[in-house]
Amino acid sequence: DTAVSQTPKYLVTQMGNDKSIKCEQNLGHDTMYWYKQDSKKFLKIMFSYNNKELIINETVPNRFSPKSPDKAHLNLHINSLELGDSAVYFCASSLMAGSYNEQFFGPGTRLTVL
Amino acid sequence: KNEVEQSPQNLTAQEGEFITINCSYSVGISALHWLQQHPGGGIVSLFMLSSGKKKHGRLIATINIQEKHSSLHITASHPRDSAVYICAAPSEKLTFGTGTRLTIIP
């Protein structure tokens, strides 16, 4: 059973399009995260939700909008895609909020904007 | 300057060698995460430690909170250990190191 799953695994799209990445965890965790890994493999947090409430919102363009319909799901919607949005996006979850808790990562979604 | 620094950035070693990867951080924390990113891209949490030493199989992680330094050791390294190893410091959020790309040659 996959603990943290993301779809799609690969996403290739044109500049200006709107796209969504979905994330689901079946671990019963309260907290979910979105991370961006750039071309230099550097990971950086974008958002964190705890029980469907936004608790971390880093400085990302407001073209990025997370949505958590329930605590098992955290989707990422991106409007007006730009070349610089090309990256690998990882979803993760942890039992509770707080970065001292072990995090479980999804397989990543490689987004390529042409 | 990143708050979490790792060294070396790249490491190539022969199978069987003892491997050490270092992590230094400037943020005030009381624990540290070590993660492994496989060549296929998946990320796995290896350790979270707040003091002393933790061991899991051939992997050993140590931390010195006062000196703000942690090390990840791999004994009897194997080609399947080839991956990127990332340390991460928890504060308000996880702050990641730049990663160490390890390649073990058979």
For residue A19, pLDDT beyond 80: yes
* pLDDT of the residue at B1: 60
**Distance to chain A for B96, nearest Cα, Å:** 6
The residues on B that touch A, with CB distances below 8 Å, are: 30-31, 33, 35, 37, 41-45, 48, 84, 86, 88, 90-94, 96, 98-99
For residue A17, pLDDT beyond 80: yes
Model confidence pLDDT, tens digit, residues B95-104: 899 899 999 9
Residue indicated by tokens 């990445």: A21
* DSSP state at residue B47: E
Give the least confident one: B13-17, B32-36, B93-97: B93-97
For residue B90, pLDDT beyond 90: no
DSSP assignments along B52-72, one per residue: EEEEETTEEEEEETTTTEEEE
Model confidence pLDDT, tens digit, residues B40-74: 888 999 989 888 999 999 999 999 988 889 999 99
Residue A1: enclosing H or E segment and its boundaries?
none
Residue A85 three-state SS = helix
Question: A97 pLDDT band (50/70/90 cuts)?
Answer: confident
**Distance to chain A for B80, nearest Cα, Å:** 18
Q: Which residues in A lie closer than 8 A to residue B31 (C-beta atoms)?
A: 100
- Would an 8 Å CB–CB cutoff place A67 in contact with chain B? no
Q: Which residues does residue A35 pair with via DSSP β-bridges, in sequence order? A: A45, A90
Mean pLDDT taken over chain A: 92
| More confident call, A53 vs A79 | A79
Apex CA A37: angle with CA A49 and CA A77, to 5°?
50
Q: Which residues in A lie closer than 8 A to residue B90 (C-beta atoms)?
A: 98-100
* pLDDT of the residue at A15: 97
Q: Are A60 and A46 in contact (CB under 8 A)?
A: yes
For residue B30, pLDDT beyond 80: no
* DSSP state at residue B77: -
Q: Is B52 left (phi over 0), alpha (psi -120 to 50) or beta?
A: left
The span from the CA of B9 to the CA of B43, in Å, is 18
Of the partner residues B42, B94, B99, the one whose CB lies closest to the CB of residue A41: B99
State the SS3 of B7-34: ECCEEEEECCCCEEEEEEECCCCCCEEE
For residue A25, pLDDT beyond 70: yes
Question: A1 pLDDT band (50/70/90 cuts)?
Answer: low
- Would an 8 Å CB–CB cutoff place A42 in contact with chain B? yes
